[in-house]
Structure 1
Amino acid sequence: MGSIIVHTFLSRIVLAGLSGGTGKTIVSLALARAFSRAGKKVAPFKKGPDYIDAKWLGLAAKSPCSNLDPFFHSSEAIRSLFFHKSQGFDVSLIEGNRGLFDGKDEQGSCSTAELARVLDAPVILAIDCTKMTRTVAAIVQGCVHFEKGVNLAGVILNRTAGERHRSILKKSIETHTDVPVLGMLPKIGENPIPERHMGLMSDQEYTGSGHDALDALADMAEEWLDMDAILKVAESASDFGPVTQPIFSGQPAAKSVRIGYVHDAALWFYYPENLEALEHAGAEMVRVSLLDDTPWPELDGLYLGGGFPEVFCSEIAANSSILKHIYALAESGLPIYAECGGFMVLCDSLQIEGASHKMAGVFPLSTSFCPRPQGLGYTEAEVIAENPFYPVGSTIQGHEFHYSMCVSDNAPDLEFGLRMRRGKGSAIGHDGFLYKNTMAGYNHIHALAVPGWAERFVAAARKHQS
């Protein structure tokens, strides 16, 4: 596929906050579901490396959510991905992360504000107004003038205490700023979507109806937010400008291999583009599970994403036939790529709350679940050993977010594929344990940030097939 140049109008907004925990995710979910119920086709996006919020946004919008990240992707790649994933939708909603101007350094690199500039998208700021009145106007005015090129088009006031509180807040902002108040949400007694150790509880584990919870949020949005005004903000976005590249280069390859990917309640952290990249490179993607003993079809490769194996460790350990099958696949030289939770499954055991649960045993290692994060944030690694997925000497950008740690004494004796330049990894500054054609560690990657990963994976699967 050659280069394309397209100019188009895309209705779009960025929903940002002053910090993590201000309620922007709840507001984003409420807006996405309310717009969807009103008959609008919503394209959801999440800024930064995130699976759980992205999954809930997809459920709320009734459309898969894609992640946009200035750390992983060039501005051109972000614009291309956003453009193509927004086609056919009435409005695109991008949820930011952390505070609007928070980035990886004092310059705010890779911040939500930077993403808003790249997308030329108006920003709506969700503000937690707990125990605050007139000061909110100073905060809004400061955000307006802090960085050039950020179009702060409105605010949503969250966790307001009552009518008098809301009146003072609104009058203060209207008196001292030109930023419109697009709605004021009351305090809610209980988050309809409970949180767990990695943020919002997974929809896979949520005991209630996820759609009921999202509809309750949409009810709140329709009662307390000016939905028409918010939609007008999205529609006020300027012409998106030129888009010069497709998401994936070249024509899709003919399907020549079958790659399985575990997708169940235990492992489901996959960026859609990772699976799409493998399909584009010539893989038929086959969904399989760790949680039942249904025999897997014949595979030429296996992808084990992240997730919550610690929550389902008893069920995984009890499914000995599948664990033995995974071990046999690794021994046969099948190319296997595993990230975080998938890495934990490939170890000898998973330890949690004083109990040890048998895993697949591909690596003579144990992982132990801890009460605090053991690795959190962006990563950068140098490829230092031959493997099926990356050329030696290349640099891999990714991210890690794990509460478990590798506790085995013999970890240093195994072969690593990655030397960590940024981030913690699995052990002693390294990650990417290697065994035959298996590569596993805590590092997560996004396919658009590591060109060639999918093609090399498919090529390795084709080589094993022959």
Structure 2
Amino acid sequence: MKKILIAGTNSGVGKTTISLGIMQALTKRNLKVQPYKVGPDYIDPSYHTFITGRYSRNLDSYMLEDEKIKYIVKNSSKDADISVIEGVMGLYDGYGIDLDDCTSSYTSKILKTPVILVINAKAMATSAAAMVLGYKMLDENVNIAGVITNNVKSESHYNILKEAIEKYTGVEVLGYFPPNKEFSLESRHLGLVPSVEISSLKAKFDNLAEEIEKYIDIDRIIEISETEDFNTSFSLEDFIEKNKAIGKTIAVAYDKAFNFYYRENIELFEKLGMDIKYFSPIGDRKLPKCDYVYIGGGFPEIFAKELDENEEIRTSIMNAHYNNIPIYAECGGLMYLGETLEDPNNDIYNMVGIFKGCSKMTSSLKRFGYCLGEAKEDTILAKKGQIIKGHEFHHSIFDSQEECAYYMRKLKNNKVIDEWEGGYSNGNTLATYLHTHFYNNLDCISNFIKRGRE
């Protein structure tokens, strides 16, 4: 099984650019590349998917147990030539200070995957070897099989780095990458701009792949990727058998405003026999005929004017709510189901109005990171007392007097560091800032399916 994990020493080291370039270079060699992203991020995987033509998968150790992560990789990579996993933050950065708590290093161990470490070698020489040696020795069970030196302006500088790193660490240096602003990707308040919003990406990534091939030994990376396989004890067979929903249809919001979905969440509905119908809250005039509605996260604040102008579909969604069709919305979906949205310029736009309140943008992140929600009451997703793990990441608040549906807690190093209430339930509609992976608690999907049968 061919697989590699590309990690950085820290965030901002160029890990994403180099990961994308390697994926494109492998794809241009006519290899079937299966991409993955460690952690909960939605945006980097959208670029992976664009490049490879295969859905990128999130490998998140907070929301998913080891066996579920193995299951995702085992199934998604079975017809791929090589799997490329992009790490998150620095190699050993995760949730707290435990080396095995949601880190890229831990993911590499459970998947028996060699790590290619990206370092920023600007203005460094032999000191780069000390950096690599520290990463190698901190957890000797992590297989750091190669190094890529980024921000290296000349071949002579690279040769010094390569000689020093290989002499003092024994880790092979696989190439370098010069600084080049051409390959920077556009960002805004939640990170990179999603690929669905950007034109001319193909030319950019083709050029990036050419540069990657010029400076990095792709042949050697392919050789290193040939590694031990693994098995998993997790299976969806029993769950699917007990929760079949053949003949049912779920309408999924997907456009520039709403595109944050874990691919397994969509595929789980497909595995249950449901028909998936995508719709655009921006461009479509009515909801497809359906038994369920799923509205993921995204950037409704960027497209608030277009969402406001499409009154017909907002009315259609409200009618679905009145008709007790189960509607589940996350983050941007919550903002859309409120009455109004106030953008950064203090302009106010009409939204669907199922929940009384206004979404207001904030200058800083209001919630960031992993948390869990305990249902205060029965909802379409969780019965009272059931717990869902997920993450929040938003520059907004929902200003409302409505009663919240969840007790929210944030833990770090097994200690509660923050508590609040969140999420809103009204009839068969649930909206929350919490993003979750459905494999985290399959009972919640059983609850959701049952609501559509009542």
TM-score, with length taken from structure 2: 0.94
Q: What amino acid is aligned across from residue 154 of structure 1 in structure 2?
A: G
Q: What is the DSSP-based 3-state SS (H/G/I as helix, E as strand, rest coil) of the residue aligned with 1:182?
A: strand
Deviation at 1:389, TM superposition (A): 1.3
1:141 is aligned, of 123, 126, 133, to: 133
**Partners in 1 of 2:209 and 2:155 — Cα distance?**
21
Secondary structure at the counterpart of residue 416 of structure 1: coil
Say which of 281, 289, 297 aligns to 1:290: 281
Unmatched 5+ stretches in structure 2: 412-417
Judged with a 3 Å threshold, the aligned counterparts in structure 2 of structure 1 residues 144 and 404 are, in CA distance, closer, same or farther, namely: same
Q: Label 1:373 to 1:350 Cα distance change in 2 as closer, same or farther (>3 A).
A: same
Partner of 1:72: 63
The question of 1:383 aligning with 2:375 is answered yes
CA distance in 2, matches of 1:462, 1:306: 26
1:247 Cα deviation from its structure 2 partner: 4.7
Helix, strand or coil for the counterpart of 2:404?
strand
Query: Does the 8 Å contact 2:9/2:91 carry over to 1?
Result: yes
Contact 2:112 2:230 in 1 (8 A): no
Q: Tell me, in whole angstroms, the C-alpha distance in 2 between the residues paired with 1:51 and 1:360.
A: 24
Matched residues in 2 for 1:209 and 1:166: separation?
31
Q: Distance in 2 between matches of 1:405 and 1:448?
A: 27
Determine if contact 1:255/1:279 at 8 Å carries over to the other structure.
Answer: no
Equivalent residue pairs, number: 444
**AA of the residue aligned to 1:211:** K
Which residue, 419, 423, 439 being the options, matches 1:448? 439
| 8 Å contact kept, 1:155–1:181 | yes
Answer yes or no: is the 8 Å Cα contact 1:123–1:150 preserved in 2: yes
**8 Å CA contact retained: 2:287, 2:317:** no
Paired position in structure 2 for 1:57 = 48
Contact 1:124/1:155, CA 8 A, preserved across alignment: yes
Q: 1:264 aligns with which of 238, 241, 255?
A: 255
Distance in 2 (CA, whole Å) between partners of 1:136 and 1:179 is: 12
SS in 2 for 1:166: helix
1:192 shift after superposition: 4.1
State the shift of 1:251 in Å: 4.5
Q: Which residue of 2 aligns with 1:405?
A: 397
In structure 1, what is the equivalent of residue 414 of structure 2? none
AA at the equivalent of 2:376: I
Task: Quote the Cα distance in structure 2 between the aligned partners of 1:333 and 1:356.
Answer: 28
Equivalent of 2:232 in 229, 235, 243: 243
1:418 aligns with 2:410: no
- 2: CA distance, partners of 1:247 / 1:223: 44
**Structure 1 residue 357: Cα displacement:** 0.8
Are the equivalent residues in 2 in contact too, given 1:248–1:277 (CA < 8 A)?
A: no
Verify: 1:14 aligned to 2:5, yes or no.
yes
Q: Secondary structure at the match of 2:195?
A: coil
Q: Which amino acid aligns with 1:415?
A: E
Match of 1:180 in 2: 172
Distance in 1 between residues matched to 2:216 and 2:64, nearest whole Å: 33
Letter in 2 for 1:273: E
Q: Deviations over 1:265-324 (max 9, x none)?
A: 110111111111122234222111111243332221111100111111100000011111
Separation (CA, whole Å) in 2 of partners of 1:59 and 1:80: 23
Aligned residues of 2:252 and 2:295 also touching (Cα < 8 A): yes
Task: Determine whether 1:337 maps to 2:325.
Answer: no
* Alignment pair present for 1:23 and 2:11: no
Q: Residues 130 and 159 of structure 1 are in contact (CA less than 8 Å); yes or no, is this contact kept in structure 2?
A: yes
1:155 to 147, 153, 171: 147
How do residues 84-95 of structure 1 correspond to structure 2 at under 5 angstroms?
Answer: 84-95=75-86
CA deviation digits over 1:113-133, x for unaligned, max 9?
Answer: 111010010000011112222
2:219 partner SS: helix
The answer to whether the Cα contact below 8 Å between 2:374 and 2:386 also exists between their aligned partners in 1 is yes
Using the alignment, how far apart are the partners of 2:66 and 2:208 within structure 1? 33
Corresponding residue for residue 394 of structure 1: 386
Corresponding residue number in structure 2 for 1:309: 300
C-alpha deviation, 1:104, in angstroms: 1.0
Following TM superposition, where does structure 1 have runs of at least 4 consecutive aligned residues deviating by more than 4 angstroms?
none
Q: CA deviation at 1:96?
A: 0.6
Partner of 1:422, secondary structure, is strand
- 1:343: how far off? 0.4
2:204 to 209, 213, 223: 213
1:191 positional shift: 3.3
Paired residues of 2:183 and 2:208 also in contact (CA < 8 A): no
Q: Say whether residues 1:35 and 2:22 are aligned partners.
A: no
Tell me: CA distance 1:344–1:254, structure 2 relative to 1, closer, same or farther (3 Å): closer
Task: Give percent identity, aligned residues only.
Answer: 33
Aligned equivalent of 1:118: 110
SS at match of 1:385: coil
Shift of residue 171, structure 1, vs aligned partner: 1.8
1:460 to 427, 447, 451: 451
Q: Deviations over 1:110-155 (max 9, x none)?
A: 1111110100100000111122222110011111111131000000
One-letter identity of the residue aligned with 2:84: L
Counterpart for residue 228 of structure 1: 219
Q: Hey, what's the Cα distance between the residues in 1 that align with 2:382 and 2:253?
A: 22
Instruction: Supply the distance in 2 between the matched residues of 1:198 and 1:388 (Cα, whole angstroms).
Output: 28
Contact 1:305–1:340 under 8 Å retained in 2: yes
The range that moved more, 386-395 or 250-259, is 250-259
Higher mean alpha-carbon deviation, 378-387 vs 275-284, is at 275-284
Pairing partner for 1:169 from 161, 164, 167: 161
- Aligned partners of 2:368, 2:53: CA distance in 1, in Å? 29
**CA, structure 1 residues 435+250, in 2 after alignment: closer, same or farther (shift >3 Å)?**
closer
Match of 1:98, SS state, is: strand
